[in-house]
Structure 1
């Protein structure tokens, strides 16, 4: 009886401590996420504005769909190539140095965005697109690295979902804003307008945010302890970001192949992990679909459907309005309802995308129907996006996580870079029906690849291949 009473008292004291800690710890980590959100939205707007300017640039330079696709893809090729080097850079350098690199890359991104408006030839246009990709490439790894350091495990998917929502918010606001700029000035001024905010936000970041909570004067001791633990009371070792799952979802765990796996803690283990590579290939398929939406849909709406610039601006925003909601809801479902399982929504997103592309093949010219279909397609494509960034957190230790995410992002971006070029070639040879069929096939390949990787639960071993 005395032992039972003691256990009850300990639980009662623990609950009281949790309430007190929750009240006192503060929430500066969400301020950091807010800045990441705005910075990433601006960065993604910088890459998306080319899609709105593309019909006007094609007319001015007299370029084919294939060459236009190459110009679009050059950004993603450059962006993808720097992912692994950037991941190694974040692993090798100190937190203090990497904290300063983040705003530097943001400034360079803004500079190359502005230069896009000064082009006098197709060659310079291609050169600046490569520069933009190289400059923006390390930003994504920087964002996930900061989230990994600033949030406890049970908040990471929600935080990542919010961050990825910013990647869709940029393209969401781009079409309408760009149409206004074009109507007032012209297509070149689009790039000047989008270059300014990134520089201002970089300065704000330098004076406000540090790379770790321990270095921040705005983060309380209670919040730092909460960040370093799964439940908010006991500080766990900072060696890793394992996602331990005590609950069992029965048939779902069988479908997604939930397995205990040793944690990846060395570069050799990361580079030889099929789970990491498989997630990267699947990510590349879905990134390709998003890239086509971002870069080619405005041209489709103007040249095929015959919509005016104003109507095109609203309809081109539809898939990204759906994407914003998809990222938010997907992150919450993954964290709250699925016990931090990432694969279910990744697989469901790929499966649903197949049918949405079939719906777009024979989409009518009715703007309401087309707008709703694009909205729903964006929602379904993006519902599982957060899982790709969080998935390696369940496999790798914090020290090698930047590299594991770098592999996923690098392979994903290089794979996704092929899609706009492929779309341009298909348009020159066939029609938009072929493009939408290609996108549906990409989603099918993604689904099949995801079936071969596991849903990880970290085992007791410190490291090994998976």
Structure 2
């Protein structure tokens, strides 16, 4: 391939998109199965929330260790192992014969999937130059929302033909096959891949060539949002080059705190929305499937658009969309207190909610790329994703506890307050840029 100019990184991204769609379908299918699980195993709202939360507890607990494992053994090996184990535990959920078994297996899915996310983001960081990382991350995270988008109609069909157990048997197979494909087709670094030309490897690795400098200077002249740089506290900072520096950085922990609330809201929509539609709105199974998919259709659009805007309009600034997402999600969560009863109107409202929620969602993943080097990024994102998954663990359980005492109005109000706190926290971190703009 040395004599040709390849674009293999985009094939890697396409494979990442498909794989993360499958991985997130594995975690989302419990939400649609939950009403049927509760019929077979008597449980309170709090117990149902615990089954959902245990996935995120296992997932969060292994994020930082996974960062170190990916740093040591490479993304290729850790991704393959994690995806295979995720698929195995997913299939075993369909064999559960008690609430305890359900809880244990769901935690197993979370533990197994932990290195998958770190390996995926480390692959993007290694396989794409800085000017494409926002776009690549947006496309990748769109896959995380496509999973929950396809889950409701697919689960509705499986349940109508067979039952809830077959959901988990069905979802086990694609992950196992794709993990093997990944192992043979994706190397840890572009230069190690037999499918990547020397020109592409150099394009990815050399971000400081004369051509790049000229392009950056051109971008600086074109990018005139000096006032936005003031708001997001843009400044030039030294990258975090050791794990010790990463653990001492408020910017990394601040991003983790903000991600805590965003992932918490997504996990509630993924896990509790079908129950809300069945019990409160009294929708039939196919209408429930249609409306449940709406916010994730929106997040697919929002992730694509947000990643592109971050790279091409905001000149690699990540905080602006993080802050816009936090503010707009506050408004949308509050609006759901008076959600319409018509399924089509509610689906539209949830679609817009998904778009706004996803605009800055990928920025939480890309932000540590600008504060670290490629070696320390897995550890940094491990910290950020730990914060996010702790939110994913706590929010569904918190919702169950609220519902046992209050109602869904209190749930949506709590989510709106959480999103507002996210805005306040994200505002405190620095926007790392090479050329912060100032008024002439």
- Tell me the TM-score range normalised by the shorter chain: over 0.9
| Equivalent pair of 2:82/2:115 in contact (CA under 8 Å) | yes
Which residue is 1:51 aligned to? 31
Matched, 1:318 2:318: no
1:436 to partner: Cα distance: 0.5
Query: Match for residue 100 of structure 2?
Result: 123
Aligned to 2:399: 423
Residue-by-residue CA offset, 1:14-58 (whole Å, 9 max, x unaligned):
xxxxxxx9x952211111111111111000000000000000111
After TM superposition, give the deviation of residue 248 of structure 1 in Å. 4.9
Distance 2:268 2:186 in 1: 34
- Partner of 1:189 in structure 2? 166
**Match of residue 67 from structure 1:** 47
In structure 1, what is the equivalent of residue 137 of structure 2?
Answer: 160
Local SS of the residue matching 1:119:
coil
Q: CA deviation at 1:92?
A: 2.6
CA distance in 2, matches of 1:298, 1:179: 11
What is the aligned partner in structure 2 of residue 332 from structure 1?
A: 308
Q: How many angstroms does 1:229 deviate by?
A: 2.6
Q: How does 1:221-236 map to 2 (within 5 A)?
A: 221-230=198-207
Q: Secondary structure at the match of 1:261?
A: coil
- Could you list the runs of 5+ residues in structure 1 that have no partner in the other structure? 1-20, 237-241, 460-466
- When Rg is computed on C-alpha atoms for both structures, the one with the higher figure is 1
State the alpha-carbon separation in 1 of the partners of residues 373 and 208 from structure 2. Answer: 19
Q: What is the aligned partner in structure 2 of residue 89 from structure 1?
A: 69
SS at match of 2:235: strand
Correspondent of 1:453 among 419, 429, 433: 429
Q: Return the TM-score normalized by structure 2.
A: 0.95
Tell me the alpha carbon deviations over residues 229-282 of structure 1, each in whole angstroms, 9 at most, x when there is no partner: 33777699xxxxx9x984552111111111121211111110010000000000
State yes or no: 1:42 paired with 2:18: no
CA–CA distance in 2 between the matches of 1:63 and 1:30? 46
Cα offset, 1:81, TM superposition: 0.7
**Aligned residue among 385, 393, 406 for 2:369:** 393
Residue equivalent to 1:12 = none
* Residues 1:254 and 2:230 are matched in the alignment: yes
Contact 2:371 2:432 in 1 (8 A): yes
- Corresponding pairs, count: 430
| Residue 409 (structure 2) pairs with residue 433 (structure 1) | yes
Task: Give 2:386's aligned residue.
Answer: 410
Counterpart residue number, 1:15: none
Q: Look up the match of 2:438.
A: none
| 2: CA distance, partners of 1:106 / 1:91 | 18
In structure 1, distance between residues paired with 2:224 and 2:376: 28
Alignment partner of 2:250 out of 274, 280, 285: 274
Aligned to 1:6: none
Secondary structure of the structure 1 residue equivalent to 2:415: helix
**TM-align CA RMSD:** 2.0
**Residue 171 of structure 1, CA deviation:** 0.2
Once residues 232 and 39 of structure 1 are traced to their aligned partners in structure 2, the CA distance between those partners, rounded to angstroms, is 33
Tell me the alpha carbon deviations over residues 281-311 of structure 1, each in whole angstroms, 9 at most, x when there is no partner: 0001000000000000000011110000011
The residue that corresponds to 1:169 in the other structure is 146
Distance 1:357 1:203 in 2: 40
Q: Distance in 1 between matches of 2:68 and 2:239?
A: 19
| Aligned partners of 1:296 and 1:420 also within 8 Å | yes
Distance in structure 2 (CA, Å) of the matches to 1:213 and 1:76: 32
> Residues 365-419 of structure 1: CA distance to partner in whole angstroms, max 9, x if unpaired?
1111101011011111111011001000110011111000000001221123110
| Aligned-partner Cα distance in 2 for 1:320–1:81 | 26
Kept in 2, the 8 Å contact 1:286–1:446? The answer is: yes
- Kindly indicate whether the alpha-carbon contact (under 8 Å) linking 2:303 and 2:360 is maintained by their aligned counterparts in 1: yes
Q: Could you say which residue in structure 1 is the equivalent of 2:190?
A: 213
State the TM-score, normalizing by the size of structure 1: 0.89
Relative distance call for 1:448 and 1:235 in structure 2 (3 A) is closer
Paired with 2:70 and 2:94, the residues of 1 have a C-alpha distance of 32
Q: What is the alpha-carbon distance in structure 2 between the residues aligned to residue 301 and residue 396 of structure 1?
A: 43
